Structure 1
Amino acid sequence: MSPLDRTLVLYGREFDGFTRAFSEQFALVPELPARAELIEIKALEDIVLDGPEVLDGSIDLLLLNTDWLPSLIASGRVLPLDTYLANSPPDGWPDAWVPSLRALQTGPDGRVYGIAYHDGPVMLIYRRDLYESPDEQAAFVGKFGYPLAPPRTWREYLDHAHFFDRPEAGLRGTVLAGLPDQHNNIYDFLTHLWSRGGELVLPHRTSGLDSGAAHEAITFLHDLWHVDRVVDPAAAGWDSVESGVHFAAGEAAMMVNWCGFAALSADPSSPTHGLVAATSAPAGPDGSVATMNAYWVLAMAAGCTEPDRAYELIRALAAPEMDVITAQSQGSAVRRDTWNRPDVQALAPYYSALESAHAGARAIPRDPGWPTMAEILNEMMAAVVSGTDPLKQLAQAHDELQAFLGGSA
């Protein structure tokens, strides 16, 4: 087999939207034969962060979460793209991508290690048909004394979750993803922490978990599961994708989740087709809104034996027509010009609001030590979801994080 006939290998997360998109996109560039190996997210993380395949030439390209990039950049497991971007940039680079979709793949050395492929951010996704129902509006005012509209605060969110929680009718107040996969369970906690004015890591690399904001955040999440009981207990085993699937099936009134999951209702056969809307996540007591920003980027594995061809595939996948295919496949497009297309805006309710949502987006600490921090938070949240005393778990996580930060400063 000549080098030009060799099939490039891309590893990424298992997700139907990615499967559909890559199948169609790869067919449009037959001169760059490629196949996608899409696997469960924890298995992908293990390979990306520690597996020999990233270094030995088994993998050419990675579709990876931006959370992992600081560690990968520090350990030299991904290659910079700057020379390629200077000589043969994707169409519209860099201004076709908002700044927050370029920042997280830029290393401390100022070099670029990937191009965004699938976008967040976290938003409030809700059942428009329920919120616009005159009967529901009248009943809500009668019970709570204020108009029914998408919740602007976490206090309102809790009222709404109680109001709509009707398990006997197959409707829950909200959806959470409780699977301890270092993904949504951690992001939910950080979203609540930040919106209450807290921080995970304070100046001088000390833990911020011993704070009133952290106490409020973990107590609120614990209570959703075990006191308010407005979440399906089965969600303790759901990852982010499964939580989005259950919402699209019409099983909950609202959720704070990655906005891309609203696209799961785009299929005309979906029970919630045309019934879903999206807006900013609720605010904390002082009005602060925390929009979690994490996204999936195409990066080049350090062991890639054909970097020129691998970059050409990244460049092809970043083109305007490819981004539209991502949107049509129920992924989430990343280019401004895609977001502004009327046909794309018709696919999902969040595209017209994405640029404003990104304006206030926040991300996890850009620290090579993040995998260890994430494991500490993961264990904390797994215990909370299972019903363990939340403040006890928070105190333990604080001690572990403080010890780690002190030991790695």
Structure 2
Amino acid sequence: MKFRRAGDRQSIGVYLTAAVTALVLVAAGCGAGGGSGAESSTLTVLVEGGGKAELQPVADLYKKETGTTVELVELPYDGLYDRVQTELGSGKASFDVAALDAIWLSAFSAGVSPLDDLFTEDVKRDLFPGLVTEAQVGGSYVGMPVWTNSEILYYRTDLFGDPKEKAAFQAKYGYPLVPPTTWKQYRDAAEFFTRDANRDGQTDLYGTDVKGAVETEWLATVSQTGAKTMVLDPSSGQVTIDDGRHLEALNFYTSLLPYAPSGAAQLDWAGAQNLFYQGKLAMMRFWGHAYTQTPADASVKGKIGVAPMIAGPGGIAGVPGAWYLSVPKATTKQDEAKKFVAFAYAHNDLSIKTSLGLVSRISAFESQAGVAGRENYPAILATLKSPATVARPATPKWQEIVNTVLTPMLQKAVAKGADNAALLKQAKAQIDAIVQ
């Protein structure tokens, strides 16, 4: 079997390592291959939400080329977590492969098989650095990235392209109105577009939103400061959330509140997306996949531009939102399962035309350069390739930290009169208690 450059329909990629090639041959000899004459086998793959659509083209081609049926079992997010946790803990898995959220890898690493032989130098060169780092837990690669995402900048082209708006902005701020690339430009544009657009005495257009009910956007802001650790340093175990860069990030994040709708403490992804689609926001920072999913009846349909995530003092940075394929140690189909994981990597480009249109390989993103309707790809690519973009810390306690510390802290930070430094100090004490 060969790895291909994503987007290339010919077998022009690099060969798998000798060990992985051996796995393929063993699997074929055991009846996995369709041309062997032996009875075909079945692989059970657990996926979440849109993951089924992302993997279905890969599963279909795998069946065609090998004779092995791949049964994609779709579960809700929490249901997937619970099933994987229960079965890995029992040592009796009813599945052969699972798509795992990046933040689960540390928690489940003891129950999944190492995939080190799949991570050749060629493979690692075609993956974003943050994903390669994230895939490794305890010195072993425990998952192969199957798709990834990042927040990028969304902006209203009807506003940013309006000659009158351009002239007014230039006159007020002394530089041209363009899609923001820095914190200052973002805050200036947010201030500029916050107004009573219909002149009824009430503000009805806001420059941006501020999400208090989700933590990821603030974490991206932390990385934009140039911070190399996010909340804690997994190598030393030291909690860093109360340092100067985390405070700088929180201060910038909350400085946008005057230019955002009220109710920030309860605003999550869905709420922010709805505000933008209703034409109430001039800009938002949001996951890159949403670009192709604007509702037909949205007031901003056909008026949306995209750009890389904004940069702070440390540069452009987002938070990789990756999912990984992992193989449970308990499956009796180790060879076939690893063969499918390798196949999914090799044919990663098949996910480009799915409902989410998300991939994991750099070459798959690059293959869409200049393709109409894929303007979000260069923005995601630039954000994920930025040196300032780092993965969330590898700790099995991460979800607990998010639920019990980070989100509640942000909800307090977006309240009037909040003491950000005190909130971060309190958060440090809470996280120390969790990880010790």
Tell me if both proteins adopt one fold, taking TM over 0.5 as the criterion. Answer: yes
- 1:116 partner letter: P
For 2:190, what is the secondary structure of its paired residue? helix
User: TM-score if structure 1 supplies the norm length?
Assistant: 0.77
Matches within 5 A, 1:181-330: 185-198=214-227, 199=229, 200-201=231-232, 204-222=236-254, 224=256, 227-228=257-258, 230-231=260-261, 233=263, 236=266, 238-239=268-269, 243-244=272-273, 247=276, 252-265=281-294, 271-273=300-302, 275-284=304-313, 288-320=315-347, 322-330=348-356
Contact residue 215 and residue 402 of structure 2 kept, 8 A? yes
Find 1:72's aligned residue among 80, 93, 108.
108
What is the Cα deviation at residue 297 of structure 1? 1.3
Report the Cα distance in structure 1 between the residues aligned to 2:173 and 2:102, rounded to whole angstroms: 41
Higher CA-based Rg: 2
Q: Which amino acid aligns with 2:377?
A: Y
Q: What percentage of residue pairs aligned between the two structures are identical?
A: 24
Contact 2:190 2:259 in 1 (8 A): no
SS in structure 1 of the partner of residue 44 of structure 2: strand
Does the aligned pair in 2 maintain the 1:172–1:232 contact within 8 Å?
no
Shift of 1:24: 3.6
Shifted more, 32-41 versus 61-70: the winner is 32-41
TM-score (norm 2): 0.73
Alignment pair present for 1:97 and 2:124: no
The alpha-carbon distance between structure 1 residues 269 and 312, as it changes in their structure 2 partners (threshold 3 A), is farther
RMSD: 3.7
The match for 2:376 is: 350
Distance in 1 (alpha carbons) for counterparts of 2:345 and 2:374: 20
SS of the residue 1:362 aligns to:
coil
- Is there any run of 5+ residues in structure 2 with no aligned partner, and where? 1-30, 33-38, 199-203
Partner of 2:25: none
Deviations 1:189-228 (A, max 9, x none): 222233335553368543323334333433443454xx41
SS at match of 1:62: strand
What does residue range 46-61 of structure 1 map to in structure 2 within 5 Å?
46-48=82-84, 50-52=85-87, 55-61=91-97
Q: Residue 338 of structure 1: which of 353, 364, 367 is its match?
A: 364
Shift of 1:400: 1.2
Q: Which residue of 2 aligns with 1:25?
A: 58
Asked if the contact 1:324/1:344 (under 8 Å) is kept, the reply is no
Q: What is aligned with 2:46?
A: 11
Match in the other structure for 2:424: 394
Change (3 A) 1:306 1:195: same
> What is the CA-CA distance between 1:175 and the residue it aligns to?
4.1
Separation of aligned partners in 2, 1:234 and 1:186? 12
Q: Which letter maps to 2:43? A: L
1:182 — aligned with what?
Answer: none
The change in CA–CA distance for 1:216 and 1:279 in structure 2 (over 3 A counts) is same
Q: Which runs of 5+ in 1 are unaligned?
A: 180-184
Cα distance, 1:380 vs structure 2: 1.9
